[in-house]
Structure 1
Amino acid sequence: MYSSSDEIGIITAYVEQLEKESIPYALTIKKRVSAGDTLNEIEIMHFEQLLSEARMMMPMLKHHSEYQKLIAELASLYHEISEEALRNELNKKK
């Protein structure tokens, strides 16, 4: 089990990675998907990795409510992107 200071360090690094890399990347993809594009295999694998990381972080994050809103918003963003990309994929097959 991690100490409280270890948890804060891990969470801080995780949140920084989200803010500097994951969220900007997701927003770039969202723009493309909103314009009618679909997700490529690399993007799908990237989202799967991010969701896996989020699941691993949840036990720590549940003790730090200040980060839960960020994680919920990010999950919502990934859901929006996935849903729209799926709709686009289905429309292309029609």
Structure 2
Amino acid sequence: MHVTVWNIPETCSEQDVRSFFERELGKYAKGITVYDAGTSNAHADLELDSDLPYVADAVAHELQSRRLAGVALKVSAPPFEDDEPVKRRN
């Protein structure tokens, strides 16, 4: 599962961003990729160590309330996708 984070301050280095998310995510952080660090387009892709779709949604909601270097983060997770369609009972 992946979560994308935008609105990362230009003042943060790639290591600052990695350290922040490693601390915030703990055991759920499988991989952290930072793009365009030090620019106004800086963003990160967080790979979560979980196969459960609701974990990405819960992490996204939790990170949405966090600030990095005083700036509120913007976070999104992919929508839930079931492997099998939901069967309706008649």
Using the size of structure 2 for normalisation, the TM-score is: 0.31
Which structure: greater strand fraction?
2
Which structure: greater helix fraction?
1
| Greater RCO (CA < 8 Å, at least 6 residues apart) | 1
